[in-house]
Structure 1
Amino acid sequence: MAASDTGRAQQQIDEIEALSSIYGEDWCVVDEDEKIYCIKISDCLDQPKWTLCLQVILPPGYPTEEPPIYQLNAPWLRGQDYTELANSLEEIYLQNLGESILYLWVEKIREVLIEKAQSSEPEPDIKKTSEEVDEDDGEDFLLDYEPIQEDPIKMLNYMTSESQEDEELPPIHHGNPITDRRSTFQAHLAPVVTTRQVKRVLEKLYENKKIASATHNIYAYRIYCEDKQTFLQDCEDDGETAAGGRLLHLMQILNVHNVLVVVSRWYGGILLGPDRFKHINNCARNVLVEYDYVPSVEESSRQAGKSKKIRKDNKKRTEH
């Protein structure tokens, strides 16, 4: 496999794991080998009126050279509704050529469903819908790489100057732990605006004997440099191969910045396979939601609905 093919394959893996973490049970794997996935999207979480299933197939050239192959499934979706939504998705693809776009597609579809729910359109007839899909649980994955730990703080030394003034230590927050088959995962979060603050937070965390004894302390951070209008970002696997990159990709998709997230894993002796990445991302997302860096899916739906209502009200005033 060529290097470019390997890179695209890894981009696909990272995107799918991030989406699985964001959307939970609404995201499912139809066929892992064929790269077929499905997500159930609705206008709200409690009592949805409008629901749609987006099924995608990721070709080998996605995201850099080929778009996803997709199908929109809903009994009410036909004619002009289908055409308008399909055009919107294709426009998003063209505006983001070469980039991962599934998250943008899902949120665009949710926005359309919220708009329909707030309009005077009658609710769709959903009696005939059937969404039976089998989820691939990944039990055939047998390897769980556990190499010797290295101190991740050393990785930051080249980026920081010891001669510069000490940065104030930001507040550090701790998320709720997740335990699976004797392995425990816990996320820690701190607001940061410089790499020196990142280093200080990591040093402070390592003063805690329990955190220092973790099998892995995976981290990623994103800092927005306003003067250059660019992001300063980096990640560290700490021996859990590719975990740092997956964590950073999740933060990019969620568009969080000026924050450091560390996920500690205490290995319990039982191999978890790809579930370990799911737990790392879920811990990270939960702590970002808890400390208001990311709205929950429910809050996101409410905000999208509110902004739609404001735009519609403004349009009515303009027309009158």
Structure 2
Amino acid sequence: MTDGPPTTSGRLLSLLSLLQTPREWPGPELARRLAVSERTVRHDVERLRALGYPVSATRGSTGGYRLAAGQAMPPLLLEDAEAVAVAVALSASHASVEGMEETSLGALTKLLQVLPTRLRGQVDALRASTVRAAPRRRGDEVSGTVLADLAACIRDREVVRFGYADHAGATTERRVEPYRLVSLGRRWYLVAHDLLRDDWRTFRVDRLREPRGVGHRFRARELPADDLAAYVAARTRSVQRKVTGQVVLEAPAAVVEERMGWWTDGSIEALGEERCRVRIAGRSTEDIAFWVGVLGVDFTVEGPEELRSAVRALEQRYAAATRP
């Protein structure tokens, strides 16, 4: 195993690539991977440290080398596929975070300047072939600083206080144990344990007012679900299901299930091959009346009376719209 100047630069890049994976590398394994001696590995580690890479080392049979967090950000080494993936992610930056699109564009510009021609061609082809629709604005954008502060409190298991505005604008003071941030559609949600209510809650981050850590640490609880994204989605849907109604549709149960999705309340009863009874949930009886109407099949309202009234009102409105 030899060490010569013509191979030093390439070997340092290979060593750096290995160290950038989140694990600890024993010296003998690095020497085997790089086909050099352990002494050469030690010298190369010192060279990386001199270049600003904070490589830490632990002694003993289970010790090894790993890249630690430093005070400054030295050059980052990416594999080809990783560089393309980062460029694609920056091109499709999440517009619901305030200022993120401009920041992402700046980072993408810097990355494209240093990409090899073969990789830049892949990214350029993707960007040229992709059309991004203007996002539909729903609520306020979320501050990237707020997300970072909440993430830090989650990492440090620090209790957070904030004012929370409900859909009507009424604000209550909350004190919670934060656990996860969930991105759902164009909104961000905080999954937390509300200490005053002693229960799990999901909070829209754009409705938080002056969130701040209070310096108190907490012991982690068992999460309310293994799949927190699905948990938040279900909680969000439950807000949209304030009222229910029951109708008989002149259509097969399988067709209705496919077309209505989660608007059903989990109850579709087949009444033969071409009819079914459905329990539907919505924000209001007016919403239910509309969604049943756009199915394009005949139906009969079984209840409640408020849904019958909503259907009659919709019928009169449509009839009035067609008069000369």
User: More strand by proportion, 1 or 2?
Assistant: 2
Q: TM-score, normalised by structure 1?
A: 0.18
Q: TM-score, normalised by structure 2?
A: 0.18
Q: Which has the bigger relative contact order, CA under 8 A and spacing at least 6?
A: 1
